[in-house]
A and B are shown apart, each in its own frame.
Chain A
């Protein structure tokens, strides 16, 4: 049975449909793998029954000759930022510990409707704030990867660290992620898997615990570009319950996959060649260019002049929105309430939020509150919004010269847990290459390129035009085929 857990989305779906194995066998195999992987701490709660019930439904449909759905029989991990009806949803926070929604997020519902089942709720950085999965109230997530010759637990990246760890460790064939400023792409790069953040508005935000509303986007994380295409197709779609949802049909991304890039121009932004970027990362970037050229694309140099302002602007806009979005966690209606003896309303707020939020969340709420305050608003928030516009304009201009952009996903490979947690600014730099596409709302994907000298995965990032997920996936596929990345972490958990 163990070989079933080596299968990805497409292989499982096609295998179930073709009768090679049953959906139940797949679900049981992954449930067992999940149960065996507590050391990774990838899941906050496991839901084996959910996976089995979904599998049985698919098997029953197959027996009746009915359509199994585009994800039929595929059990997945669900980032614990998506509200799941009847299953605890915490955003990895103490303040929402024990909170069980009476509703199902649109994205998770779309996946269940496509025949997928749920293995459990995946750990993450608290409220999706973090780049290492060290801010969860439910403990750090460990990457299945180790640096050659060391035994230190490595970061799976963040905030979708439970997702990346689970998929890389093959305890889930795929998982949902959310990406606000790199939270799908950076963990995917750290763990040698694929992850795509679609155009802002493709996936409904309804039922996803909000971090920064103007940036948050859900997307799939899986071990191949094809699997990402299949799963994104199931997740995406217009949702009247989300006012920022794109009113567009979902393209047939899976059917449209093609690694032939003839006639396509791939831009190489010179501003991404930053100080402090790892030599091996730069080498992988060069290699990426070669692969895409080999696939028929023309490589062109482009400029995105406002790149260096993107990260600071992001760290104003995202905390500003978060400070407001997290105001609802106040102890009044649900979640944690800390009501000291004789306390009034203000005391209850203070005690509840002090106990319920972790340090990184508090840091960002404070930053956000500060930058929106009277007297500082124009200097910070208004300026940051201007930069956001300029960053978006940079891309607009770039599209005159190229069809997609190739860049590293991260400036470094994964690092040991605990090595950066005292230094938030260095931690924030992890997302320096990911944030510009987030600010511009563009589709962007990370695909694995190679292992570095320490045996750790490195990812390459493709950024596409608005709504051109197909172009991004196709370039990703071209890299995937040429990189031939098949390294697997050695099981230690």
Chain B
């Protein structure tokens, strides 16, 4: 097993990583108000009286946000706390109208759970690993300050104020940037499967606070730093790499790592101090007196569980065991919601068209979905209109191929025309002459002629020169202008040559 180590002057250092991922809950309305949550609206157009903290306004929990957080907890096999409570986290900032964030410190909605990451030699993850998740709690997002709109003033946009976030807190179980990257990707995948977060890191729907410390292997945890609001997998990995090396430098030069909050600069790939421990806020957490404790009933929990889809790990295992896919194909197909959704639609359409069980056509469909189709689309570039790549069209192509009506090459050609024009694949096969000839009469006639014209080679073949079989196939295909069904050609040749 190869572990990720920082090579310092004094020896090897191990990196210890914990992540707090903030995931925006997919819901039409905010956590405690009816205001919309759509991204990209004009500033301050999605702000209710509650979000703006007008005098006398009160929060009322949005059941859908709670439901999504509970379903997420169930997806990571976590303990769901039937009794939880909201706390106020008090601090002053212009993007925080209430002067406090409603969060859950003392009694989070979701307790301990776990997440599996898979071995990935290429990425440097030696073996499968379980990353502990300490808790998931729900909380309000803050608004946004804009400092570039006025020479001396800052503007405030409260559209995001009050939007529901899940804070998913991992245990300090990761030991390399690659593991942290795999964790975030896997978590994102689960959130998207569950539908509780769109996982869109560019729009800020998902961002991570990265806790990093270093230690000599086997020693106690070192002092950690927390780098805030990192918004891509690549940046998370960069932060860890930079921070770990920085901390090793500090320690090896006789310094101490300060427990502090840091900021990541994506332009330089470095982190810098945001505020030190001395400047740390005293958030004065206390139970929000505007809200009653959240008590979850059996019916609610049952519905949450029943509405969970098949999750990535289970789906991958089923693809291997039931559909007979290779581990590679199973993993590739289940990584993203869109990928498996397209695959399953195509698989169903193809199996239905051919009239065979899904498992009999799964490998053909998987190869098509993972390599053939993407290859064709890529080669066409801008010429391809992805909207034409419907499941029906592709199933129709796979159907013709499975029935031997078209060859693999013809399938690609037909798909190209489909992508460019949106025409019907069967019609293309007919009118463009992209069909194999399986008519034994025509093939037999061609073979008879070839055998007659090559009596010497027939003799040699019969004398034991087996390799000449390929010559006869090639001649036949040439005579048929490439459109003969190879299986039929082979069969007739074998019959005729004895």
- Give residues in A with beta carbon < 8 Å to B: 82-83, 89, 91, 96, 99, 101-103, 105, 205-210, 212-214, 240-244, 320-321, 323-324, 326-330, 332-334, 345-346, 349, 369, 372-374, 377, 381
Contact = CB atoms under 8 A, between A and B. Distances in A.
Nearest to B91: A327
B365 to A, nearest CB: 50
Interface stretch (B288-296, B333-341, B470-478): B288-296
Interface in B29-70: 49, 52-61
Contact of B286 (A206, A320, A330, A345): A320
A333 B52 contact: yes
B282 A373 contact: yes
Contacts of A205: 56, 58, 290
A103 B48 CA distance: 12
Contacts of A327: 90, 92, 98-100
A105 B286 CA distance: 26
Contacts of B289: 212-214, 321
Nearest to A321: B289
A-B pairs with lowest CB-CB distance, top 3: A327-B99, A214-B289, A372-B284
B63 to A, nearest CB: 12
A438 B51 CA distance: 29
Interface in B134-192: 154, 156
B349 to A, nearest CB: 46
A99 B55 contact: yes
B85 to A, nearest CB: 12
A330 B154 CA distance: 15
Given A206-B58, A209-B55, A241-B58, A377 B286 contact: yes
A381 B285 CA distance: 11
A334 B54 contact: yes
B312 interface: no
15 contacts: A102-B49, A103-B49, A205-B58, A206-B56, A244-B291, A321-B289, A324-B90, A330-B94, A332-B156, A333-B54, A345-B93, A346-B92, A372-B286, A377-B286, A381-B286
B97 interface: yes
Nearest to B153: A339
A116 B286 CA distance: 39
Given A372-B286, A374-B282, A243 B55 contact: no
Nearest to A96: B55
Interface of B: 49, 52-61, 88, 90, 92-94, 97-100, 154, 156, 282, 284-286, 288-292
Given A207-B57, A346-B92, 15 more contacts: A83-B54, A99-B55, A206-B57, A206-B58, A208-B56, A210-B55, A241-B60, A321-B289, A323-B284, A324-B88, A324-B100, A324-B284, A327-B100, A332-B94, A377-B284
B99 A83 contact: no
A242 to B, nearest CB: 5
Contact of A333 (B92, B97, B292): B97
A224 B52 CA distance: 40
Contacts of B92: 327, 330, 346, 349
Nearest to A373: B282
Contacts of A102: 49
Nearest to A381: B286
Contacts of A101: 54-56
Contacts of B285: 372, 377
Contacts of B90: 323-324, 327, 372
Contacts of A329: 55
Nearest to A350: B92
A102 B288 CA distance: 25
A377 B291 CA distance: 20
Contacts of A323: 90, 284
A319 to B, nearest CB: 12
A38 B24 CA distance: 54
A324 to B, nearest CB: 5
Contacts of A345: 93-94, 154
B286 A324 contact: yes
B99 A240 contact: no
A328 B290 contact: no
Contacts of B93: 345
B53 A243 contact: no
A245 to B, nearest CB: 9
B296 to A, nearest CB: 15
Contact of B55 (A89, A321, A324): A89
A257 to B, nearest CB: 31
B54 A103 contact: yes
Given A103-B49, A243-B292, A328-B97, A83 B56 contact: yes
Contacts of B49: 102-103
A243 B61 contact: yes
A323 B88 CA distance: 11
Contact of A242 (B55, B60, B88, B154): B60
B285 to A, nearest CB: 8
Nearest to A370: B284
A124 to B, nearest CB: 14
A323 B91 CA distance: 11
Contact of B97 (A321, A332, A369): A332
Nearest to B99: A327
Contacts of B54: 83, 101, 103, 333-334
Nearest to B283: A374
A320 B98 CA distance: 15
A330 B156 CA distance: 14
B99 to A, nearest CB: 2
B424 to A, nearest CB: 54
Contacts of A377: 284-286
Contacts of B60: 240-243
A323 B286 CA distance: 11
B297 to A, nearest CB: 15
A8 to B, nearest CB: 28
A373 B290 CA distance: 20
A243 B290 contact: yes
Contacts of B57: 206-207
A449 to B, nearest CB: 34
Chain B CB within 10 Å, residue with most, of A208, A213, A323, A332: A332
A184 to B, nearest CB: 18
A392 B33 CA distance: 32
Nearest to B49: A103
B44 to A, nearest CB: 10
A455 B292 CA distance: 45
Nearest to A326: B99
A98 to B, nearest CB: 13
B125 to A, nearest CB: 39
B188 to A, nearest CB: 32
Given A244-B290, A320-B286, A324-B286, A91 B88 contact: no
Contacts of A324: 88, 90, 99-100, 284, 286
A365 to B, nearest CB: 11
Contacts of A208: 56
A213 B53 CA distance: 14
- Give the interface centre of A102, A206, A328, A349 by most chain B CB atoms within 10 Å: A328
B53 A242 contact: no
In this complex, the member of B59, B156, B290 whose beta carbon has the largest number of chain A beta carbons within 10 angstroms is: B290
A326 B100 CA distance: 10
Contacts of A330: 92, 94, 99
Nearest to A339: B153
A209 B284 contact: no
Contacts of B98: 327-328
Contact of B291 (A89, A210, A243, A332): A243
Contacts of A334: 54
B284 A369 contact: yes
B53 A333 contact: yes
Nearest to A348: B94
Contacts of A346: 92
Contact of A91 (B55, B94, B99, B154): B55
A158 B49 CA distance: 29
A105 B94 CA distance: 26
A421 to B, nearest CB: 26
